[in-house]
Amino acid sequence: MRSFLSIPTLLLGGLACLVSSSELTKRDSCGQWDTISAGPYTIYQNLWGKSSATSGWQCTGLDYQGGDIVSWHTSWDWQGGPGSVKSYANVGFNFNARQLSSIQHIPTTWHWSYSGSNIIADVSYDIFTSYSPGGSSAYEIMIWVAAIGGAGPISSTGSPIATVTIAGISWDLFKGPNGPTTVFSFVAHGEQTSFNADILDFFEYLIHNQGLPSSQYVSGIAAGTEPFSGSNAQLTTGEYVITIA
C-alpha cells in the first residue's frame, strides 16, 4: 500500500440515523441517497433496498483522497429480508463514456477489509455498458472480489456458465437478467482483499467468449459492497485506485 498524507477534515452531511458513538465521531453520511465528492470519485451511500429490512441502518464516510487514491468506509447493521440486498455503498469513478474498442487498459488496485458478525454480503465492482453514450444500460458486469456468508449473484440457472482465470485468480462466471439488462458476474474463488488487475481483461474475455460487443460504451464503474444482512459490520477500503487509458 502507498503511504498516505494527513487526512483532511471531512465536510460531510449531518447524521440521519441512530449510530454508535464511534460512528458519530467519524461524521459519516447516513441519508438514503447521500453522496460525497472525492476528487475523481464520488462516494455513494445508496440505500436502495433498505425497505426490505425489518430493521437496520448504514452510514458511509470518506477517510482520505489525494490524486487517484481514495480510502473510505461504510458501517451497517441490517436485519430481516433474507435474500434481499439492502444497499450498495460504493465509490464511483467519474469519466466520460468510452467505447470498449478504444480502451487500452483499466488498471485498478483495491485493498479492503471487513469486520462484523453474521455477515452476508458481497464486495464487488459494478460496471455498466450501453449501445451509445448516455444510452440505457445493455450489460452489467460485476466482479465479486468476495462472496461472504453465502451471498450469490444474479443467475438464470443458479450455476456458473464457465470457470476462468483472470489476473491470476479463478472465477466462476454467472449470467442472468436484471430487467432488460444482461448481467455477467465474476465471483472469485476466495476473498481477494488485496486486488490488483486490469479490468479490461474481464471485458476481453466476455468479448471473445460470451458475445459482448466491443462497440459497447463503458458508462459507469463503481466498487463497493452489497449487504444482505449482518450486525455491526464495516467495510474499510484502505486504498482504491482506478484509471482508464
d(CA 236, CA 227): 14
pLDDT value, residue 8: 37
The pLDDT, as a whole number, for residue 119 is 98
Q: What is the pLDDT of residue 83?
A: 93
Largest CA distance in the chain: 51
pLDDT at 56: 98
Catalytic-labelled residue, pool 140, 191, 204, 239: 140
Phi-psi region of 88 (alpha: psi -120 to 50; beta: other; left: phi over 0): beta
140 is catalytic: yes
pLDDT in tens, 151-194: 999 999 999 999 999 999 999 999 999 999 999 999 999 999 99
Whether the model pTM is above 0.75:
yes
First to last CA, the chain: 22
Q: Is 56 left (phi over 0), alpha (psi -120 to 50) or beta?
A: left
Between CA 77 and CA 121 the distance in angstroms is 12
Structural domains present in the chain: 39-242 (2.60.120.180)
Separation CA 64–CA 54 (nearest Å):
33
pLDDT recorded at residue 14: 36
Catalytic residue flag (residue 226): yes
**Which residues of the chain are under the pLDDT cut of 70?**
1-26
Q: pLDDT at position 10, please?
A: 36
| pLDDT on residue 126 | 98
